[in-house]
Amino acid sequence: MKISFTLNGKQTGVDVSADRKVVEVLREELMLTGTKEGCGAGECGACTILVDGRARLSCLMTAAQIEGRSITTIEGLSQNGGGMHPVQEAFIENGAVQCGFCTPGMVLSAVDLLDKNSDPTREQIREGLSGNLCRCSGYVKIVDAVEAAALQIRREKAR
Amino acid sequence: MREVILPGSLEELWRLLSDRPQARVYAGGTDLLVRMYKGLLDPEALICLDRIEELKGVGEQDGCVRIGSCATYGRLVEEPLVRCLPALRKAIGQIGSPLVRNMGTIGGNICTASPAGDTLPPLYAMEAEVELLSREGSRRAPIREFITGPGATCLKRAEILSAVWVKKPQEYNVHHFEKVGLRNALACSVVTMAALLRLGPGGMVEKAAFAWGSVAPTVFSCPEAQEALSGKPLSAASLSRAADLVRNVVRPISDVRADADYRRAVAGNLLLRLLDVAYERKG
Ligand SMILES: Cc1cc2nc3c(=O)[nH]c(=O)nc-3n(C[C@H](O)[C@H](O)[C@H](O)COP(=O)(O)OP(=O)(O)OC[C@H]3O[C@@H](n4cnc5c(N)ncnc54)[C@H](O)[C@@H]3O)c2cc1C
Ligand code: FES
Ligand code: FES
């Protein structure tokens, strides 16, 4: 089945089985390996992508479902305007990355969260990221990073 | 290769369903695709309801809130009308994770008919009705008749769940939902309870409706406990008697998450908490 959609801002087409998992289409057909598959069952969030700006699990979507949609993966987040997204910068600065397997999903969930609430409490950040598991970091630095990114985003808006 | 089709309207859906009687419909896919990708399920074709806007609306009619079956949880917690249904709203806010709530729908939860489905206890306690739609027309049924067993409903072939109707529970002034799981997020329920109470002067229980999840093959109601409390002041003693009645009649199973005795104990204990819940309400 031919599927066309916008991928990281570019019109894209692929020819794949309609019932193929979106995470596989991204990784194996489009070679965008930033999106990870951990559990394949909705429980870890490693496969998080943005679909029309909202965070979704690409391991629980069929290829047919992305027809006509706008998809953002971790590879595309930095392309908007060139530099890194404030959430990505904050993850680096705060040492919120260890092995990095959870990071693309964490970052995209944080982007969705900050889009809805630009001034979340630490508790709201924890709740907002509760679908993304990290086996390395203990989460403290991840929450620090999202707090810092929120501040940075608010500063940029105020300018 | 399996077809996946995304109709954009009900008209198109009926045509697809009559051409492909073996096709399986799905909405968010958070139950169905988990099972399909694990190889537990092998539908000939899939029809995704996600693009049918008519199935996503939330509205109000004759004192009832009508919730479209394909409304996602993420959408429903933001929806002002859902605030009139506090116990349901509490249940929805605790489902899975934000990612699961961005995708999962209330219709999917009802049709999955799991004893651990978190929207079901509040829907049972509020005596919700489901609206079922096919090319031939629509029918309505009480949710407790629609769900016939674990994973079983009386949905007919080429029929879908289009909406759920919930009468605004204005006769109650305490609206409670509690979920006991093994962790805060991404936890399948061990026991849940929805409780609605009308407390009159002196803390007198004028009306009560309870429903439990995960303690029986389907959502469990206990008219005995409701009656035992009605007409009595809400107190540790009256709740404790009602809790004993509940523990005597629930039929829980043991599984990887908890054993039956634990579930039986917790089902009663959740009632005892109502005293705190009601006092908190009064400040
Ligand atoms: C990680 C994870 C965590 C979860 N946590 C919870 C939780 O805490 N509590 C909870 O209750 N559930 C939980 N679930 C289960 C699931 O998310 C919910 O049951 C959800 O409501 C299912 O909705 P859906 O739209 O995704 O269903 P789908 O998977 O799309 O469909 C489920 C079933 O219903 C049928 N169906 C769906 N919509 C219709 C319709 N309109 N008409 C007719 N048939 C229909 C499908 O054929 C299928 O059999 C979790 C799932 C995952 C993956
Ligand atoms: S791979 Fe999708 S949630 Fe784990
Ligand atoms: S950094 Fe290793 S899983 Fe999060």
- pLDDT tens sequence across B224-254: 999 999 999 999 999 999 999 999 998 888 8
Whether residue A131 and residue B97 make contact (CB cut-off 8 A), yes or no, is yes
A98 and A127 fall within a common domain? yes
Residue A80 lies in a domain: no
% residues pLDDT > 90 (chain A): 93
3-state SS string for chain A: CEEEEEECCEEEEEECCCCCEHHHHHHHHCCCCCCCCCCCCCCCCCCEEEECCEEEEHHHCEHHHHCCCEEECHHHHCCCCCCCCHHHHHHHHCCCCCCCCCHHHHHHHHHHHHHHCCCCCHHHHHHHCCCCCCCCCCCHHHHHHHHHHHHHHHHHHHC
Query: Which domain-ending residue is among B127, B142, B167?
Result: B167
Whose Cα sits closest to atom 2 in ligand 3? A99
B156 and B67 fall within a common domain? yes
B116 and B95 fall within a common domain? yes
pLDDT at B281: 54
Whether residue B99 and residue A113 make contact (CB cut-off 8 A), yes or no, is no
Q: Best interface-test mutation with A: which of B31, B78, B97, B186 has the largest number of A CBs within 10 A?
A: B97
Domain that holds residue A30: 2-73
The minimal CB distance from B6 to the residues A56, A65, A128 is found for A65
Residue A38 lies in a domain: yes
Query: Which domain-ending residue is among A50, A73, A96?
Result: A73
B143 and B193 fall within a common domain? no
Q: In total, how many domains does chain A have?
A: 2
Domain that holds residue B248: 174-282
Residue A59 lies in a domain: yes
pLDDT at A78: 83
Q: Residues A111-121: pLDDT tens digits?
A: 999 999 999 99
Q: Which residues line ligand 1 (CB under 6 A)?
A: A 41-43; B 24-32, 34, 49, 69-70, 95-96, 100, 103-105, 107-109, 111-112, 117-118, 155, 160-161, 186
ipTM of the complex in this document: 0.96
Residue-level pLDDT, tens digit, chain B, 283 residues: 799 999 999 999 999 999 999 999 999 999 999 999 999 999 999 999 999 999 999 999 999 999 999 999 999 999 999 999 999 999 999 999 999 999 999 999 999 999 999 999 999 999 999 999 999 999 999 999 999 999 999 999 999 999 999 999 999 999 999 999 887 777 788 899 999 999 999 999 999 999 999 999 999 999 999 999 999 999 999 999 999 999 999 888 888 888 899 999 999 999 999 999 988 754 3
Q: Which residues pair with B175 in a beta bridge?
A: B196
The minimal CB distance from A60 to the residues B5, B34, B184 is found for B34
B38 and B149 fall within a common domain? yes
* Reported confidence tier of residue A80, pLDDT bands at 50, 70, 90: low
Of A47, A94, A98, A146, best ligand 3 pocket probe by most atoms within 8 Å of the beta carbon: A98
B143 and B118 fall within a common domain? yes
Instruction: Report how far residue B177's alpha carbon sits from residue B89's, in angstroms, rounded to the nearest whole number.
Output: 9
A59 and A94 fall within a common domain? no
A92 and A119 fall within a common domain? yes
Residue A63 lies in a domain: yes
CATH number at residue B109: 3.30.465.10
Give φ, ψ of A109 to 5 degrees: -65, -40
Whether residue B98 and residue A17 make contact (CB cut-off 8 A), yes or no, is no
Whether residue B103 and residue A64 make contact (CB cut-off 8 A), yes or no, is no
Residue A82, pLDDT > 80, answer no
What average pLDDT is seen over chain A? 96
Query: Which domain-ending residue is among A42, A73, A104?
Result: A73
Span from the CA of B67 to the centroid of ligand 3 (angstroms): 39
A69 and A90 fall within a common domain? no
CATH number at residue A133: 1.10.150.120
Instruction: Report how far residue B124's alpha carbon sits from residue B221's, in angstroms, rounded to the nearest whole number.
Output: 8
A69 and A109 fall within a common domain? no
A7 and A57 fall within a common domain? yes
B56 and B154 fall within a common domain? yes
Which residue's entry shows tokens 């706008």?
A70
| Minimum CA–CA partner of B75 in chain A | A54
pTM over cut 0.90: yes
pLDDT at B283: 39
Whether residue B97 and residue A21 make contact (CB cut-off 8 A), yes or no, is no
B182 and B138 fall within a common domain? no
Instruction: Report how far residue B231's alpha carbon sits from residue B207's, in angstroms, rounded to the nearest whole number.
Output: 8
Query: Which domain-ending residue is among B167, B193, B227?
Result: B167
